């Protein structure tokens, strides 16, 4: 897996993530970031195993769900039965 982080930072070139961000904005910027020279050559990106994680996801009760989801993708042999 390839994991990028982001936050809401005005007109910057980071992945826009956060409570008030529109899904279309996240998708558009993710496509731009994933198409950068070199990034598109990363095997996990080519295999569609790239993720965006909000910088402040750890401040939320759902953080364990996010970690479990990432663990399942990164280590499918160890966490394949995680639901």
More confident residue, 28 or 14: 28
* Contact call for residues 63 and 71 (beta carbons, < 8 A): no
- For residue 1, the model assigns a pLDDT of 86
Nearest one of 37, 38, 32 to 14, comparing CA atoms: 32
pLDDT digits (tens, 9 = 90+) for 24-75: 999 999 999 999 999 989 999 999 999 888 877 767 777 888 888 889 888 9
* Mean pLDDT on 69-82: 88
Domain boundaries, the chain: 2-58
Count CB-CB contacts under 10 A for residue 6: 20
Confidence band (pLDDT; 50, 70, 90) for 11? low
Query: Is the full-model pTM beyond 0.75?
Result: no
């Amino acid at each position: 897996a390839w994991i990028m982080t982001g936050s809401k930072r005005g007109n910057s070139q980071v992945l826009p993530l956060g409570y008030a961000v529109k899904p279309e904005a996240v998708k558009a910027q993710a496509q731009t970031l994933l198409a950068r020279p070199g990034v598109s050559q990363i095997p996990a990106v080519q295999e569609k195993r790239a993720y965006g994680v909000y910088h402040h996801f750890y401040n939320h009760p759902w953080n364990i769900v996010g970690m479990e989801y990432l663990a399942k993708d990164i280590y499918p042999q160890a966490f394949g039965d995680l639901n």
